[in-house]
């Protein structure tokens, strides 16, 4: 029985627990308590509905009436009303279907995995957009939202494991074919932490979330024109970013990626990567560090001239100049930029770091080799009888301080400094994409227990990211006008409800102006909702 917020009852006083979802806490009746094999306490429970924080009441489902029916004085009245029609929140699933249809995702997936499995993916994507990553509550969500059979968390895990690598690669190949081929592709890597012991790629490595946990790495291509993710792979969490670039790009020919240029941050700057991309003929725009002799020399020779008035780039509010030369053993152009507006913040951050390291050193009695290397960047470390002494290395500190505000971008393309910095700064689309998949979709923890389920879940999260970013990209102006958050948009769409009367499903209320504005901003026909009912009633 689907939940309906119109019908609410008092929350039972005993024998219940609540698990918080994004919208309402799910409420469960505890049927029995027991102890597991190792003696840890556990219990069996059944969902009885959701708690409405605004009213302090329970929105009951059928289990509630089966458990509490004989004790509830209002049972007959409520049960009579509910039999008049089940109400479901169908707005988000309609939008997912509409976005997937518009982008071509629906056609690709139905061709590769069939109609039935596509419906399951659509259900999971809708759930991820509304509730996030914890699949434990998907059966309650389905009961309240979708008209198909729905899924339990166990069925979801089995479905994740059923998605094969061949099916995923077929999807990527057809998806890439739909994207613009004459665009810049942002490439970057993020990681996902896990407590699981049976995920093959889960290893300790550089953890971006500063957690002492094993992780898997995810490398992704993002179109800077489409503003949508194109392709991803996952790999061992202990592998450093720059060493994986060549392995990622070996997929380009298989996927049909051509006539594109790659944009990457300085974490991928290395001689091996530069030579590889030159050998493959890949145009690139690459952030570069200060760690190679050729760049240090070019900076020393051009530092004074960078800030000439003729080098000021008004559109980007930076100074920039280009230096041709040989860097990372390839012929390329180094663009040197100076950003005066960043100086106050960078200066404060730099000296805050110096002070923090000074405090750390004062509390240490001895240093191991790794610590000595770390602190020697800013301090003179001297061995002593009872440990060590330290003082600020002002020569090194002054050298670093003199470089604040400067940054370097290397390219093998013939572009102006203005074009280079403009294109490079647009690579933040991939950083936003990673932020959305980890925080917007709550994937900062994998919450899977095997490699097969992890692979399938990551694929569904990728599809959810396509939908979420499409929505964000097209709703920017409307969200700003209405002062909405992304979650508020989802809530507004969830208010589009359907009622089932005598086996026929129809819209419970007309679409509101805000709901219409959202659909229009998403370039979806307003008939998408009534068309959904036509399919349901066939």
pLDDT in tens, 472-528: 999 999 999 999 988 899 999 999 988 877 777 777 888 999 999 999 999 999 888
Distance CA 158, CA 113 (A): 15
73 has pLDDT over 50:
no
Residue 31 lies in a domain: yes
End-to-end CA distance of the chain: 21
Query: What band does 343 get if pLDDT is binned at 50, 70 and 90?
Result: very high
- How does pLDDT run across 179-212, given as a tens digit for each residue? 867 789 999 999 998 888 888 888 888 877 778 8
Lowest mean pLDDT among 80-84, 327-331, 428-432: 80-84
- What integer pLDDT is reported at residue 72 of this predicted model? 47
Residue 56 lies in a domain: yes
- What integer pLDDT is reported at residue 59 of this predicted model? 79
How many domains does the chain contain in total?
2
Question: Which of 63, 55, 1, 66 lies closest to 27, judged by CA?
Answer: 63
pTM as predicted: 0.82
Among 375, 403, 431, where does a domain finish? 403
- Mean confidence (pLDDT) of the chain: 87
Distance CA 195, CA 81 (A): 46
Q: What share of the chain has pLDDT > 90, as a percent?
A: 62
Residue 130 lies in a domain: no
Residue 75 lies in a domain: yes
- From the CA atom positions of the chain, what is the Rg in Å? 28
Question: Which of 350, 304, 299 lies closest to 325, judged by CA?
Answer: 299
321 has pLDDT over 80:
yes
Residue 290 lies in a domain: no
Question: Contact, 201 vs 183, CB < 8 A?
Answer: no
Question: Which of 526, 522, 525, 524 lies closest to 472, judged by CA?
Answer: 522
Range of the domain at 67: 16-84
Mean pLDDT of 160-174: 96
Question: Contact, 377 vs 399, CB < 8 A?
Answer: no
- What integer pLDDT is reported at residue 19 of this predicted model? 60
Mean pLDDT of 242-254: 93
Residue 409 lies in a domain: no
376 has pLDDT over 70:
yes
Distance CA 484, CA 517 (A): 13
Decide: residue 14, CB within 10 A, 0-12 exposed, 13-18 middle, 19+ buried.
exposed
Query: What band does 27 get if pLDDT is binned at 50, 70 and 90?
Result: confident
CB neighbourhood size of 324 (10 A): 10
Beta bridge partners of 33: 43
Residue 358 lies in a domain: yes
Residue 349 lies in a domain: yes
């Amino acid at each position: 029985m689907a939940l309906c917020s119109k019908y609410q009852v008092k929350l039972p006083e005993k024998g219940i627990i609540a698990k918080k979802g994004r919208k309402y806490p799910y409420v469960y009746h505890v049927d029995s308590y027991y102890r597991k094999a190792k003696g840890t306490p556990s219990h069996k429970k059944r969902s009885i509905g959701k708690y409405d924080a605004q009213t302090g009441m329970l929105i009951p489902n059928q289990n509630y009436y089966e458990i509490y029916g004989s004790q509830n004085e209002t049972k007959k009245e409520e049960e009579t009303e509910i039999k008049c029609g089940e109400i479901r929140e169908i707005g988000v699933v309609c939008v997912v279907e509409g976005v997937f249809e518009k982008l071509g995702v629906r056609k690709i997936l139905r061709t590769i995995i069939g109609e039935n499995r596509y419906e399951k993916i659509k259900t999971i994507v809708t759930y991820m957009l509304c509730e996030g990553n914890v699949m434990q509550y998907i059966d309650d969500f389905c009961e309240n939202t979708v008209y198909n059979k729905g899924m339990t968390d166990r069925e979801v895990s089995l479905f994740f494991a059923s998605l094969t690598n061949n099916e995923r690669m077929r999807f990527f190949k057809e998806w890439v074919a739909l994207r613009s081929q004459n665009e810049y592709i942002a490439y970057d890597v993020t990681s996902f932490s896990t407590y699981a012991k049976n995920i093959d790629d889960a290893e300790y490595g550089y953890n971006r979330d500063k957690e002492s946990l094993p992780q898997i790495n995810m490398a992704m291509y993002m179109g800077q024109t489409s503003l949508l993710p194109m392709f991803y792979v996952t790999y061992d969490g202990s592998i450093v970013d720059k060493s994986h670039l060549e392995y990622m790009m070996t997929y380009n020919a298989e996927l049909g990626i051509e006539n594109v240029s790659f944009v990457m941050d300085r974490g991928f700057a290395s001689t091996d990567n530069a030579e590889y991309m030159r050998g493959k003929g890949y145009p690139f725009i690459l952030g570069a560090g200060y760690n190679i002799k050729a760049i240090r020399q070019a900076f020393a020779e051009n530092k004074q001239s960078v800030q000439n008035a003729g080098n000021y780039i008004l559109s980007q509010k930076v100074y920039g100049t280009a230096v041709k030369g040989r860097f990372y053993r390839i012929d390329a152009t180094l663009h040197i930029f100076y950003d005066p507006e960043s100086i106050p913040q960078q200066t404060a951050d730099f000296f805050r770091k110096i002070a923090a390291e000074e405090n750390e050193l004062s509390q240490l009695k001895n240093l191991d080799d790794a610590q000595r290397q770390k602190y020697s960047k800013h301090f003179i470390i001297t061995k002593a009888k009872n440990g060590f002494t330290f003082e600020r290395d002002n020569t090194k500190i002054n050298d670093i301080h003199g470089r604040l505000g400067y940054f370097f971008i290397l390219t093998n393309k013939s572009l102006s400094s203005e074009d280079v910095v403009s294109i490079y700064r647009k690579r933040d689309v991939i950083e936003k994409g990673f932020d959305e998949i980890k925080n917007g979709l709550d994937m900062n923890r994998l919450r899977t227990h095997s490699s097969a389920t992890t692979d399938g879940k990551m694929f569904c999260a990728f599809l959810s990211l396509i939908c979420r970013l499409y929505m964000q990209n097209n709703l920017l102006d409307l969200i700003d006008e209405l002062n909405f958050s992304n979650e508020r948009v989802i809530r507004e769409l969830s208010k589009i409800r359907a009622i089932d009367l005598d086996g026929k499903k129809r819209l419970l209320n007309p679409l509101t102006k805000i709901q219409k504005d959202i659909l229009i901003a998403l370039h979806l026909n307003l008939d998408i909702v009534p068309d959904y009912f036509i399919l349901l009633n066939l």
